[in-house]
Amino acid sequence: MQLTDLSNEVKYIGFLFENLESIDVPIGKFHGLTIGQIKDFAIEDDTYFMTDYLSAEINYNEFSELRYIEAEEEYLLGMFAGNPVSNCVDDRPHILGALIQRDDLVAVEFLDHEKEIIKSIYTPDTEDEAYKNTSVRSVVEEGFVRVTVSGEFA
């Protein structure tokens, strides 16, 4: 699946971390997006989706957009209902930096204009230790950040 394959409904892509914090990135900030093979699996009456590969390239304008220091933040990245601060890079550009600092990415969420989930796809997770996924690789290039997750289906 490529960025051009996404429905017109998709306005944001959310990156979900293991502790349920997340970052929502507007679709217009993406330089590229590739999702590998998608497999569905059921847990009780619900269907979930998993991929063996994800590569997201997200544009940034200034290096300051990557300066996320968790210890200096008053609130987490949207972990709880009613969080008074936004987890969207439109509102807080510097939170994009969490993507290059965190290595516990567990899923991507395709969101509509109201940030309601259209579809979630879980990424490979090594599960070697909590809050660390050794499958996650982040690289900062001039003008964009590339986040790649690859591995076997669980």
On whether the CB atoms of residues 57 and 145 are closer than 8 A, the answer is yes
CA atoms within 13 A on the CB side of 99: 33
pLDDT of residue 43: 77
Count of domains for the chain: 1
Task: Specify the 3-state DSSP secondary structure of 101.
Answer: helix
**Percent of residues, the chain, with pLDDT higher than 70:** 86
How many Cβ atoms from other residues are within 10 Å of residue 25's Cβ?
23
| Per-residue tokens: 11 | 């306005």
On whether the CB atoms of residues 118 and 14 are closer than 8 A, the answer is no
Note the pLDDT tens digit of each residue in 7-63.
789 999 999 887 778 899 999 999 999 999 999 887 787 788 999 999 999 999 999
Domain that holds residue 117: 3-150
pLDDT of residue 144: 94
